[in-house]
Amino acid sequence: MKKILIANRGEIASRIIHTCKRLGIETIAIYSEADEDMPFVKEADSAFLIGPPPVQQSYLKGEEILKIALREGADGIHPGYGLLSENVDFASQVSEAGLKFIGPDALTISEMGDKVGSRSTMKAASVPVVPGTDDGVDSLEEAMRVAKTIGYPIMLKASAGGGGVGMVRCESEQALSQQFDSVKNRAKMYFGNDLVFIEKYITNARHIEVQIFGDDAGNIVHLFERNCSVQRRNQKVIEESPSPNLSDETKSRLYQAAVDAAKAVNYKNAGTVEFIVDENDEIYFLEMNTRLQVEHPVTEEVTGYDLVEWQIEVARGNELPVKNQDDIQLNGHALEFRVYAEDPKTFMPSPGTITKLNLQSELDGIRIDNGYAENGKVTPFYDPLISKVIVHGKTRDEAIEKSKAYFSEIEIEGLKTNIPLFTEVLNVNSFKAGTYTTAILNDWSKK
């Protein structure tokens, strides 16, 4: 593979370009009118305007993106995360055109993208799932009957959804009644499918995910777990690896369940199996994300492997760079912080111009996956992620202390960011002790 088109934007586009440069692979970027001056456009070997700012008119124009890839002689397309990364039609079109889709095949994306269908597949593979419906619920009346049987609180979810979009927690029948049509409408608008289902909401839960990788030869390995329990609006803000306060026995069950899930769908390339772990350390399958995760750098920092390089090698038809599970070892502890242009109290986006951007540090063990330059504009058209800060230490305590020192010295001006949130969460007792749950930000915001 000598030339790759990156069907994405921002920090993940820059991240992929970084690995491609190291491997001697040419890169093609696409960009919208709003992103013309973004760093990733300049970093790529070539870049082409794809359309106006709205994603439907630019980054989601799969046929146009494929035309550019073919015209420019690309061997493959890397979709990054979000946008077209889990779009079955796009993955199929790329493969049918004779190019490599750098991710799992379309069939796997389809099987795991349907959350209702994936529950059934996991059950058949003896992977424990969250109690809930095995089929979609078509009406509010049916939803109420199911919820009464399962017991409140429940999660109402879009079957085709992901990334925290298209799901809502309902504490009562009244809440379910108020939210049902809204969730169905959002599901139709964002995913083209209004099928919804119900799962029991597990209280005092931790959101733990396992990074898995597979290849064409049938090799499947895991690269340990990440704790992603610091969330707002069901979307992750801080992630860490390894997860604190999980017994070796619980971790072993998580790893085995994740590998079983991957084997059940003959998984190839990078994937993440997401679980809920309750207060009794029981594990429940949530979903499988058939793409590279936003938080993949924490896994890279504790294993020493470049997961984008692994993706490219597998897409080339090669076996995994490391096939023996025992050869994959943990080294230290890593935390990732997603720096968003948003109000740290309300979590509402705060678009604007970054008048000052100083993210560099003399501290060792600091990695910056950045998407913007000084004087760059964070527009309202896309997710307001500015950069990701990944901090590695020999121990969790060292990584936490290093994080505190880092956030006390960097500077971002011109718009609001969630950095004040990080400095406060790092001092929350449950976070310091590693006993926090997915409720940590709700509890913090009520203070």
Question: Average pLDDT, stretch 132-155?
Answer: 91
Please, where are the H alpha helices in 285-395?
A: 296-303, 307-315
| Whole-number average pLDDT of the chain | 94
What DSSP string runs through 408-445? HH-EEESS--SHHHHHHHTT-HHHHHT---TTHHHHHH
- In this predicted structure, the answer to whether residue 213 has a pLDDT above a threshold of 80 is yes
Residue with tokens 């890397």: 78
| Number of Cα atoms under 13 Å in the Cβ half of residue 252 | 3
List the one residue out of 247, 223, 215 whose CA is nearest residue 298: 223
pLDDT one-digit tens code per residue, 364-404: 999 999 999 999 999 999 999 999 999 999 999 999 999 99
Segments of the chain assigned to CATH 3.30.1490.20: 131-200
Return the pLDDT at 162.
64
Looking at domain 131-200, its CATH superfamily turns out to be: ATP-grasp fold, A domain (3.30.1490.20)
Please, where are the H alpha helices in 51-139?
A: 62-71, 88-96, 106-113, 115-124
Question: CA distances (Å), 189 to each of 88, 183, 287, 365, in order?
Answer: 17, 10, 21, 42
CATH node for 3-102? 3.40.50.20
Question: Average pLDDT, stretch 62-78?
Answer: 98
- In this predicted structure, the answer to whether residue 10 has a pLDDT above a threshold of 90 is yes
- In this predicted structure, the answer to whether residue 76 has a pLDDT above a threshold of 90 is yes
pLDDT one-digit tens code per residue, 181-212: 999 988 888 778 888 999 999 989 999 999 99
- Active-site residue 291, yes or no? yes
Return the pLDDT at 443.
66
- In this predicted structure, the answer to whether residue 241 has a pLDDT above a threshold of 70 is yes
Question: Average pLDDT, stretch 67-73?
Answer: 98
Q: How far apart are CA 303 and CA 93, in angstroms?
A: 34
Q: Which amino acid is at 233?
A: R
The fraction of the chain above a pLDDT of 90, given in percent, is: 86
Question: Average pLDDT, stretch 117-130?
Answer: 91
pLDDT one-digit tens code per residue, 16-44: 999 999 999 999 999 999 999 999 999 99
Return the pLDDT at 164.
65
pLDDT band at 149 (very low <50, low <70, confident <90, very high): very high
Q: Alpha carbon 117 to chain centroid distance?
A: 20
- Please report how the helices 140-150 and 173-191 are oriented relative to each other, as an axis angle in degrees rounded to 10: 120
| Range in 166-175, 312-321, 322-331, 397-406 with the lowest mean pLDDT | 166-175
What is the chain's alpha carbon radius of gyration, rounded to the nearest angstrom? 21
From the candidates 15, 206, 291, 338, give the one annotated as an active-site residue. Answer: 291
Segments of the chain assigned to CATH 3.40.50.20: 3-102
SS3 assignment, position 349? strand
The pair of three-digit structure tokens given for residue 358, joined into one six-digit string = 């100083």
Q: How far apart are CA 443 and CA 447, in angstroms?
A: 7
Q: Which fold has domain 206-445?
A: D-amino Acid Aminotransferase; Chain A, domain 1 (3.30.470)
- In this predicted structure, the answer to whether residue 442 has a pLDDT above a threshold of 90 is no
- In this predicted structure, the answer to whether residue 114 has a pLDDT above a threshold of 90 is no
